[in-house]
Structure 1
Amino acid sequence: MDNSASVLLYPLKICCSIVYPNSTHPIPKYNKNWPGRCVIPYYHYIMVINTNSLTVLSAQGIVCFSNSFTVTLDPERNVYTCFMKSHRCYDLVPTSSKLVVFDTSLQVKKAFFALVSNGVRAAPLWDSKKQCFVGMLTITDFINILHRYYKSPLVQIYELEEHKIETWREVYLQDSFKPLVSISPNASLYDAVSSLLKHKIHRLPVIDPLTGNTLYILTHKRILKFLKLFISEMPKPAFLSQTLEDLNIGTFQNIAVVQSDTPLYTALGIFVDQRVSALPVVDDNGRVVDIYSKFDVINLAAEKTYNNLDITVTKALQHRSQYFEGVLTCQAHETLEAIINRLVEAEVHRLVMIDDHEVVKGIVSLSDVLQALVLTNGDNGKTILIVSCYKMGPVMFSLSFQKICF
């Protein structure tokens, strides 16, 4: 009988990493609560705990009749975290790129038309009075304006036609004003990913702290694409070969969907209320047939059809400006590596998870993947807590605790 047990710790949402691959830790033969009595370790319950958030990252129970056990950890699990920490945001700034900046005194309508004509999805906002950048204008703002002020196809949306950006910000933000979330070009990509996920934003302006100029807009897509360029040159962690189901990557509860005949105004309301970035379009059996994303809404500005939001989602999708190849999907049994390749090669922001009957089961987004690749391996302050159960008699047990910090 093998007197030691090797436990590979693979948590559901957060993975642990350690600088040494193997370490043997002794279990005391004498329980301090029962001095003088020799006891045999009967059961060990091993937990990996994030001491910063006081959350259990992993738990594994083993029956062990020995005086020691071995915890085996994958030394390559944090390879992508180290990669992100060793590269700066400036490394992602292209030699030449288009950056559109709006003054807050610009009319909202003209700003959205400018987004369309320049082929960009967002723009930093410059306040001439304060002489600084104060926020971002995105497609989400366009959706919020349409949803808030739309009345009927016969009534013009005055607020969209006449309001300036600064007026909209005053109305929309009111007392919930939040400063612009930005990052320095000298900050690490790890900090950029952390900021994107922490603030639940999709765009992070890179601003030079010396000149105050915006250099670039970082996105999840750009960061993952950059990582993919070097991924073949790095050691391959074992978790890349694990499935989405094993790693619990994605959103699987309360998936927001619409049907082909859902009114567009209703779809916009779901965007606003549930803060999702895309809505799978399903048939009566729940099978995915299309997808309506926030980016598709900007086509209303391009076609100048935003005054009629009573049309169906299917009708709105006919105004797509680009050729649509179909809904990109995935399944729970596919590996994380396959998902990364599909997201990067297709240049999409999400995959719809389906079952064998093409019924929607979840959404796997770029943020989900970056969370799994980078942040789940990079948090400091983790502790392995060993809870050892000692059998003191037929019905009496005693517990002892050991901590191993790393």
Structure 2
Amino acid sequence: GKKVTKPHDLFLLSVCVAVRAFTPNLCPFSPQVCGYFEGMLEKLELDDDAAEPESDIYMRFMKSHKCYDIVPTSSKLVVFDTALQVKKAFFALVANGVRAAPLWDTEKQSFVGMLTITDFIIILHRYYKSPMVQIYELEEHKLETWREVYLQATFKPLVNISPDASLFDAVYTLIKNKIHRLPVIDPVTGNALYILTHKRILKFLQLFMCEMPKPAFMKQTLGELGIGTYHEIAFIHPDTPIIKALNIFVERRVSALPVVDDSGKVVDIYSKFDVINLAAEK
């Protein structure tokens, strides 16, 4: 018979998208659970007679909309040539108020990667304790040089998606590749149209939620459903050195850190984007 997916499973699948909007690099579940969901995405078969009518409403919604539907009529997309200097590229990110940009290789005449805030943090993290390489020397490097040093022999084709692909395919691609930014590229012209994120997909879904049936699991709490991180939470204190925060970003693969005072109270949030803003001010 067909496999019946429980509402609880469907909720976890959709929340995997929601939680990653706040912790893009850190899956909220164990590797075993993440593997289960990746397998479910590939082999999912719904039995409409056995499942609750509204239990798969969000999945059906994403399957019925294309990536093109989510692209704003007016938006800013910054593209960097790989020949651009590292320093200029990151200042351009800040100046344009964007957190990522596709990288264009003129020689190959194609997009070859993405530049994100995470790359900037990795640069600072890698060279902070390296007396052989001064950071100002690195600033003069071109993006292609940094990519050769950092990626070395691990170059992989840029993960992207067609504007005609479904949002469900986009979510699957984000989860499968463990990425949080997905360029939408026209396969005919080769033009980059937009960068899809978990947050953008959730915003699009939220626009229509009031018109859709509410699955029963939406009345349950995050705690009841076991969603979130409740053990070994990464955090910092107000007096934590910046370099230690950077180390945590890289080692724990989180996008934000709660700032906790001596009494254990959360007093602020330090995000990856705060790092590049600080660098721009300096």
With the shorter chain as reference, the TM-score category is 0.7 to 0.9
**Contact 2:162–2:185 at 8 Å: present in 1 too?**
yes
**Contact 1:260–1:282 at 8 Å: present in 2 too?**
yes
1:132 aligned to which of 110, 121, 127: 110
Aligned to 1:270: 248
Tell me, in whole angstroms, the C-alpha distance in 2 between the residues paired with 1:285 and 1:13: 38
Aligned to 1:239: 217
Q: Which runs of 5+ in 1 are unaligned?
A: 1-8, 17-49, 55-70, 305-406
Tell me, in whole angstroms, the C-alpha distance in 2 between the residues paired with 1:243 and 1:177: 42
Aligned to 1:75: 53
- Between Structure 1 and Structure 2, the one with more strand by share is 1
**What stretches of structure 1 move > 4 A for 4+ residues in a row?**
9-16, 50-54
Tell me, in whole angstroms, the C-alpha distance in 2 between the residues paired with 1:158 and 1:236: 55
**Contact 2:11–2:217 at 8 Å: present in 1 too?**
no
CA distance 1:225–1:109, change in 2 (3 Å): same
Aligned-residue offset at 1:52: 8.8
**Contact 1:133–1:180 at 8 Å: present in 2 too?**
yes
Tell me, in whole angstroms, the C-alpha distance in 1 between the residues paired with 2:79 and 2:38: 39
Aligned to 1:288: 266
TM-score normalised by L of structure 1: 0.57
Aligned-residue offset at 1:178: 2.1
Aligned-residue offset at 1:269: 0.6
Q: Which runs of 5+ in 2 are unaligned?
A: 1-5, 14-35, 41-48
Question: Residues 36-88 of structure 1, C-alpha deviation per residue, up to 9 Å, x if partnerless?
Answer: xxxxxxxxxxxxxx79949xxxxxxxxxxxxxxxx974221100000000000
Question: Residues 265-310 of structure 1, C-alpha deviation per residue, up to 9 Å, x if partnerless?
Answer: 0110111111111111111232211111111111123202xxxxxx
Q: Tell me the SS of whatever aligns to 2:276.
A: helix
Are 2:212 and 1:226 equivalent residues in the alignment?
no
CA distance 1:51–1:240, change in 2 (3 Å): closer
Question: Residues 170-219 of structure 1, C-alpha deviation per residue, up to 9 Å, x if partnerless?
Answer: 01101222221100000000011111122221111000000110000111
- Between Structure 1 and Structure 2, the one with more helix by share is 2
Q: Tell me the SS of whatever aligns to 2:102.
A: strand
1:212 maps to amino acid: G
Aligned to 2:181: 203
Tell me, in whole angstroms, the C-alpha distance in 1 between the residues paired with 2:37 and 2:69: 32
Structure number, greater radius of gyration: 1
Q: Tell me the SS of whatever aligns to 2:210.
A: helix
Aligned-residue offset at 1:156: 5.2
Question: Residues 124-148 of structure 1, C-alpha deviation per residue, up to 9 Å, x if partnerless?
Answer: 0000111100000000010011111
Tell me, in whole angstroms, the C-alpha distance in 1 between the residues paired with 2:78 and 2:193: 11
Question: Residues 114-133 of structure 1, C-alpha deviation per residue, up to 9 Å, x if partnerless?
Answer: 01111111100000111100
- The answer to which structure, 1 or 2, has the higher relative contact order (CA under 8 A, 6+ apart) is 2
Q: Tell me the SS of whatever aligns to 1:125.
A: strand
Give % identity.
Answer: 73
**Contact 2:112–2:158 at 8 Å: present in 1 too?**
yes
1:106 maps to amino acid: L
